[in-house]
Structure 1
Amino acid sequence: MIKEFSYKKFGKLEFSKASAQNDSLNKIYEHIKVLFIPKNAIIQVDFQEIAMKTDALLFINPHVILKPCETIGGQLMHFNKDFYCVEIHDHEVACDGILYNNVFEIPFISLNEEQSVEIQKIISDIQSELGNEDSSTEEMLRTLLKLIILKSTRIWKQQHQLSDSVQQADVQFLRKFSKLVEQHFKTHHTVADYADMLCITPKNLSKKISMVSKETPNDIIKNRIILESKRLLAHTTMNVKEVAYSLNYEDDAYFVRFFTKHTGISPTNFRKQFK
């Protein structure tokens, strides 16, 4: 089910093997997504398979490849940037907030029983609202969507011990670093590049990132490059040299060594394996 308000689009569908088989997910490839996944479900996000130990919410950017492996009862809400995005809404909870530009981890929120019931009630309200046709429907859907994102942002901060007001500057810094990596990983490959953008030393950057990630800034940058490499190899017809060039590697032999070192397989063999 999808609602269109001029250029603004919002929809909801069941997330299951059936939705993958009938091409529903490909049709919303360009949309931003919020996915409710029940306990014990198994899904694949890009190239990583995840088994859910609790009910959970995932926050998915456009171009991320989702696949329901063993999933019953998943609920996927999707929308375009005209419906909800940073130019209109609060920075921290919008499309460039920590839930959507989070290069530290696959951004999902584990829910306890009480939180899950609360989120499922909001999803049920969204389902009901999608059946309405009055003038307030668009704003009601946007309000319910924002409520999920607000509550999830609060849970994420609590889970990462970043809920105190004195730590808000740290949250904003982490969000800014995530956003910078997402914007510049194709052209800026070193920790020093991002430290310069943030006007701090590489050492201080590493210290701040260590608050929420066991990986170093260098690991995070390289992992983002590798992820994009895999997406291009798996989902486009670009050859290895073109993939390397698109990621600002003029020497494709160097790119091949870099990819092989970090994945244990050459780009060509990865493509063959994935296909």
Structure 2
Amino acid sequence: MLKEFSLKQFGNLRSLDSEISDSILQSIEEHIKILFLPKNTAIQVDFQHFLLDSDALLFINPKVVIQFSQNENNKEILLHFNRDFYCIEIHDQEVACDGILYNNVFEVPFIKLRDSQSSYMQKVIREIQNEMENDDASTEEMLRILLKLIILKSTRIWKEQHQLADNEQHADVQFLRKFSKLVEQHYKTHHTVADYADMLFITPKNLSKKIGLLSKDTPNDIIKNRIILESKRLLAHTSLSVKEIAYSLNYEDDAYFVRFFTKNTGISPTSFRKQF
């Protein structure tokens, strides 16, 4: 089901009703998404495979490609909305999730749920589904309030799971969010740790120390992995030539880009593309 409020769109899809098909996902490629996944769901996010050992929520940026094994017992629920309905970046002061649930360059943003947390989230999702049946002046705002409730609760759970929920760690969380957002914004044009250290007004050494609070990867690994991910997306899902992809990622020497990709993936760009 899709509700439209002028240019604002909010939708709800269920695997149980065979609504989450590849063609439907392509049609909402530009939408921001929240996917509820029951325990034991097998899912592929871009080029990584996961088998969930608990119920979970997955927060999905536009253009991220998801696939899960289809069976008659699938109970995934997908909420999706466009930026006109709710823009994560513009409304970041309200929910403080940018760089954590969305635009997270550290990890695929799964929020694993305990039984009580899962029951709560499913209750909110049912309220959303019920509200989708309404058609009055308050429907749009009610949907937005329920959406923000899921995002706020999930951000809180993420901080607890990463042991960053204490008030004295607020500055650390803000720094990690800022670095994550900067990489997401600039990875196509800025490729070195020094570039991001300059933007954050610290030394590369201090940047590495701060990132070590959350990630086992170094800042250099994080930047490199984000470039590789985009390279894979363009190779798998577009007809751009390797040279055009290299240029779009600010590599003027496509031979250097080929060496960079091959070194970090163990396969050449052309061979990777043939897999798809």
TM-score band (shorter)? over 0.9
- Per-residue deviation, 1:96: 2.7
Residue 159 of structure 1 corresponds to: 161
Q: Which residue of 1 aligns with 2:246?
A: 244
Q: What amino acid maps onto 2:66 in structure 1?
A: L
Q: Given that residues 20 and 68 in structure 1 are in contact (C-alpha distance below 8 angstroms), is that contact kept between their aligned partners in structure 2?
A: no
Q: How does 1:220-231 map to 2 (within 5 A)?
A: 220-231=222-233
**Partners of 1:38 and 1:55 within 8 A in 2:** yes
Match of 2:6 in 1: 6
SS in 2 for 1:91: helix
**Is the 1:37–1:56 Cα contact (8 Å) retained in structure 2?**
yes
Shift of 1:21: 4.0
Cα distance between partner residues in 2 of 1:121 and 1:77: 14
Cα contact 1:41–1:70 (8 A) shared by 2: no
The yes-or-no answer on 1:253 pairing with 2:259 is no
Percent identity over the alignment? 71
Judge conservation of contact 1:42–1:50 (CA < 8 Å) in 2: yes
* Alpha carbons 2:99, 2:176 under 8 Å: kept: no
**Cα distance in 1 for residues equivalent to 2:140 and 2:20:** 27
2:32 alignment counterpart: 32
Q: Could you tell me how far 1:114 is from its partner in structure 2?
A: 0.4
- Give 1:122-141 correspondences, 5 Å limit: 122-141=124-143
Contact 1:8 1:83 in 2 (8 A): yes
Amino acid at match of 1:83: F
Contact 2:212 2:218 in 1 (8 A): yes
Pick closer, same or farther for the CA change 1:201–1:259 going to 2, 3 Å. same
- Which one of the candidate residues 95, 111, 118 is aligned to 1:116? 118
Deviation for aligned residue 1:89: 2.5
| Runs of 4 or more consecutive aligned structure 1 residues displaced over 3 Å after TM superposition | 15-22
Q: Distance in 1 between matches of 2:194 and 2:139?
A: 47
SS at match of 1:207: helix
2:82 alignment partner AA: N
- 1:123-272 to structure 2, matched below 5 A, reads 123-272=125-274
1:53 corresponds to 2:30? no
- 1:97 offset after TM fit, Å? 4.4
Q: Deviations over 1:244-271 (max 9, x none)?
A: 0000001111100100111110000000
Match of 1:83 in 2: 85
Give, as a single letter, the amino acid of the residue that structure 1 aligns with 2:204. Answer: P
Query: How far did residue 22 of structure 1 move?
Result: 5.8
Contact 1:15 1:68 survives alignment (8 Å): no
Pairwise CA distance, 1:91: 2.8
C-alpha contact (below 8 Å) 1:20/1:67 kept by paired residues: no
Distance in 2 (alpha carbons) for counterparts of 1:241 and 1:97: 30
Which one-letter code corresponds to 2:31 in the other structure?
H
Unaligned ranges ≥5, structure 1? none
| Paired position in structure 2 for 1:43 | 43
Match of 1:68 in 2: 68
How far is the alpha carbon of 1:85 from its aligned partner? 1.5
Residue 16 of structure 1 contacts residue 68 of structure 1 at CA under 8 Å; is this kept in 2?
Answer: no
1:86 is displaced (CA, Å) by: 4.2
Question: Partner letter of residue 138 of structure 1?
Answer: E
Aligned length: 274
**How large is the RMSD of aligned CA atoms in angstroms?**
1.6
Cα 1:205–1:23 change in 2 (3 A) is: same
